[in-house]
C-alpha cells in the first residue's frame, strides 16, 4: 500500500521536473492550473498524509489548455462521485485503489471511464516493516545522480533547459485516478487516489502491496493519454518496481506522527543490532555466563598452581643449602 509520501520540491521547481518534450523536440515546463480547490494548495512537505494536498500531473485536455500536461494540487483521498454534503465527511479510505478491482468499482469506475488518469509525483513514499517492534519506517525513492541530497529543499530551477529538460533530483511517478467533485453550492474540488498492486519480490519483504510506479517517460505519456490509449492498454503499463527503479533506506519514527512535517522525516538512520529474545536469548546468555565462569576458574587454577610450584621450589632450595 502507500499511506504516506514526501515531496521536497517547491511549486516552481516541480514545473521543471514534470516537464515534457513537445512535437518540436524541445522540453516544456508543466504549468500549474490555478483554480479554486476549497482553498487547498500545494506545499512541499517531508510527510504527506491522506487528506493533505499532493501534486498531480494530468493531461492538459482536461483543462482546455494548449499545454500537453499540467500540474494540479489535489486532495489525497478521492471524494466519491456520489457523495453529498461536506467533502471531508465521506468516511471512506480512498487514498489507495486496488488495480485488480478498480474497473468494476462503484467508486473508481466513473472517473476511469471519463479518462481521469493522473500521475502523482513525489520524492518518495514511506512503508513500515511490521516484523519489528516498534515498527520500523523506511523511505522508498527513485535512484539519484551522485551528489543529490534528498533531504534538501530543492528550489534550483537552473537545472532545467529547453534542450535537456530536468537534470536534478529524480521523482517517483505513481499511477493514479482523479475526480472533479461538485459540492452542493457548485464549487469544484479535485481529489485523487494512488493505484496499488500486489508487491513483487523486490518489495514484498516489506508489504504485500505497493504503489504502481510508471517507470519510463513513455509509460507516463501513455497513462495520461486517455484519448489515444484505451484503459485496457494503459493498465498493462502498471507493473512492480525493479532494483534499478526503486531504492530505500531506514528513517526515524518521527514520521509516524502525520502532523510532523520536518526534514528529519526522510533523514537516513543506522539501525541498531537486534538483541536476541526468548529462549534463544536465554540460552545465549547462559552460554556466555558459563564461558566466563570457566575462564575465571582456569585463571584461578593457574594462579594457585603457580603459587604451589613456587613454594616447592623454595623448599628444595633451602634443603640444598643445608646439604
Instruction: Single out the residue in 247, 266, 285 at which a domain terminates.
Output: 266
Q: Indicate if 119 and 234 belong to the same structural domain.
A: yes
CA 145, 147, 153, 158 dihedral sign is negative
Q: Per residue in 160-179, is it b (16+ CB within 10 Å) or e — as a string? A: beeeebbebbbbbbbbbbbb
Give the position of cell 505513481: 174
Q: Indicate if 44 and 137 belong to the same structural domain.
A: yes
Give the position of cell 516489506: 206
Q: Indicate if 293 and 201 belong to the same structural domain.
A: no
Tell me: pLDDT of 311 over 80.
Answer: no
**Residue range of the domain that includes 322:** 275-323
Integer-rounded Cα Rg, in Å, for the chain is 30
**Which string of DSSP letters, residue by residue, matches 115-157?**
T-EEEEEESEEEEEETTSSSPEEEEEE----TT--TTS-B--G
Q: Indicate if 262 and 198 belong to the same structural domain.
A: yes
pLDDT band at 299 (very low <50, low <70, confident <90, very high): very low
Q: Indicate if 192 and 43 belong to the same structural domain.
A: yes
Instruction: Single out the residue in 221, 245, 266 at which a domain terminates.
Output: 266
Q: Indicate if 106 and 214 belong to the same structural domain.
A: yes
Q: What is the pLDDT of residue 273?
A: 62
Q: Indicate if 213 and 289 belong to the same structural domain.
A: no
Q: Indicate if 150 and 255 belong to the same structural domain.
A: yes
Q: Indicate if 301 and 224 belong to the same structural domain.
A: no
Q: Indicate if 45 and 188 belong to the same structural domain.
A: yes
pLDDT band at 323 (very low <50, low <70, confident <90, very high): very low
Cα distance between residue 54 and residue 72, in whole Å: 8
C-alpha cell belonging to residue 214:
510508471
Q: What is the pLDDT of residue 193?
A: 98
Tell me: pLDDT of 51 over 70.
Answer: yes
Cα distance between residue 37 and residue 53, in whole Å: 10
Q: Indicate if 114 and 221 belong to the same structural domain.
A: yes
pLDDT band at 216 (very low <50, low <70, confident <90, very high): very high
Q: What is the pLDDT of residue 136?
A: 95
Contact 177, 77 (CB under 8 A): no
- Mean pLDDT of all residues belonging to the chain: 85
Task: State the catalytic residues.
Answer: 2, 127
C-alpha to C-alpha distances, 260 to 47, 161, 255, 266, nearest whole angstrom? 7, 35, 7, 12
Q: Indicate if 235 and 302 belong to the same structural domain.
A: no
Residues 6+ apart with CB under 8 A from 183: 87, 189
**Structure pTM?**
0.82
Contact 281, 275 (CB under 8 A): yes
Q: What is the pLDDT of residue 293?
A: 47
96 phi and psi angles, rounded to 5 deg = -125, 150
If you average pLDDT over residues 121-131, what whole number do you get? 93
Structurally, how many domains does the chain consist of? 2
If you average pLDDT over residues 72-99, what whole number do you get? 94
C-alpha cell belonging to residue 127:
512503508
C-alpha cell belonging to residue 321:
643449602
Q: Residue 221 belongs to a domain with what CATH number? A: 3.90.1680.10
Q: What is the pLDDT of residue 1?
A: 62
Q: Express each pLDDT in 246-290 by its tens digit.
A: 999 999 999 999 999 999 999 999 998 654 444 444 444 444 554
- Higher-confidence residue: 307 or 228? 228
Amino acid at each position: 500500500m502507500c499511506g504516506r509520501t514526501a515531496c521536497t520540491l517547491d511549486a516552481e521547481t516541480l514545473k521543471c521536473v514534470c516537464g515534457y518534450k513537445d512535437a518540436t523536440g524541445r522540453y516544456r515546463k508543466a504549468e500549474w492550473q490555478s483554480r479554486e480547490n476549497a482553498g487547498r494548495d500545494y506545499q512541499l512537505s517531508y510527510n504527506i498524509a491522506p487528506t493533505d494536498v499532493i501534486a498531480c500531473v494530468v493531461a492538459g485536455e482536461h483543462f482546455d489548455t494548449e499545454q500537453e500536461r499540467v500540474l494540479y494540487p489535489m486532495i489525497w483521498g478521492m471524494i466519491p462521485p456520489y457523495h453529498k454534503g461536506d467533502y471531508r465527511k465521506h468516511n471512506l479510505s480512498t487514498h489507495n485503489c486496488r488495480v485488480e478491482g478498480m474497473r468494476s468499482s462503484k467508486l473508481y469506475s466513473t472517473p476511469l471511464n471519463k479518462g481521469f488518469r493522473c500521475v502523482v509525483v513525489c520524492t518518495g513514499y514511506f512503508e513500515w516493516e511490521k516484523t519489528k517492534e516498534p515498527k520500523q519506517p523506511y523511505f522508498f525513492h527513485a535512484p539519484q545522480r551522485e551528489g543529490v541530497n534528498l533531504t534538501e529543499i530543492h528550489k534550483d530551477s537552473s537545472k532545467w533547459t529547453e534542450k535537456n529538460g530536468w537534470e536534478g533530483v529524480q521523482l517517483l511517478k505513481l499511477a493514479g485516478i482523479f475526480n472533479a467533485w461538485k459540492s452542493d453550492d457548485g464549487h469544484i474540488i479535485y481529489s485523487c487516489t494512488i493505484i496499488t498492486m500486489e508487491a513483487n519480490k523486490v518489495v514484498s519483504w516489506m508489504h504485500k502491496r505497493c504503489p504502481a510506479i510508471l517507470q519510463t517517460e513513455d509509460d507516463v505519456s501513455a497513462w495520461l493519454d486517455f484519448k489515444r490509449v484505451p484503459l485496457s492498454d494503459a493498465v498493462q503499463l502498471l507493473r512492480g518496481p525493479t532494483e534499478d527503479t526503486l531504492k530505500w533506506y531506514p528513517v526515524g519514527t518521527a514520521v509516524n506522527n502525520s502532523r510532523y512535517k520536518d526534514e528529519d522525516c526522510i533523514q537516513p538512520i543506522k539501525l541498531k543490532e537486534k538483541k536476541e529474545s526468548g529462549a534463544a536469548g536465554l540460552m545465549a546468555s547462559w552460554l556466555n555466563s558459563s564461558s566466563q565462569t570457566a575462564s575465571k576458574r582456569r585463571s584461578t587454577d593457574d594462579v594457585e598452581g603457580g603459587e604451589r610450584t613456587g613454594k616447592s621450589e623454595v623448599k628444595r632450595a633451602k634443603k640444598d643449602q643445608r646439604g
